Amino acid sequence: MVSSPADEDPSSGPATDGSVAQLSEDELYAIVRVATEDAVLGALGTLMLVGIGVFLIAAGTSLFFALSPLPSVVGVVLIAYGAYLALSSLRIIPPAREWV
């Protein structure tokens, strides 16, 4: 695995002025590869969390329409958590760690 440029010592970096022209072809390839890997994993993670949120909303909806009160309460909790998970994954609402 190629190490991230952020993991390396900042004083050993070849381009301190931010110029891409001073980077070698191997360094530029490593930077682009790490950035692409982060982007793909971020997109897949977002899709996975939205899918889990939609599943929780669907399961909560089916429990909400149950005839007894306890499954209905559990259904409301699942709907709320599924909506929070999907919306915070898409950054429509801020995640809970930013509320504090």
Q: pLDDT digit string (tens) for 2-57?
A: 555 555 555 555 545 667 778 888 889 999 999 999 999 999 999 999 999 999 99
Listed residue (60, 55, 51) closest to 80, CA to CA: 60
Does the pTM surpass 0.95? The reply is no
- For the chain, the structural domain boundaries read 10-98
Mean pLDDT on 77-95: 95
Q: Does residue 76 contact residue 51 with C-beta atoms inside 8 Å?
A: no
Helix locations, the chain, DSSP H: 25-64, 69-89
How many residues does this entry show for the chain? 100
Q: Does residue 57 contact residue 82 with C-beta atoms inside 8 Å?
A: yes
The Cα–Cα gap between 41 and 44 comes to 5
For residue 58, CA distances in Å to 29, 44, 53, 83, 92 come to 43, 21, 9, 10, 20
Mean pLDDT on 67-89: 95
Q: Does residue 15 contact residue 22 with C-beta atoms inside 8 Å?
A: yes
In this prediction, residue 85 carries a pLDDT of 96
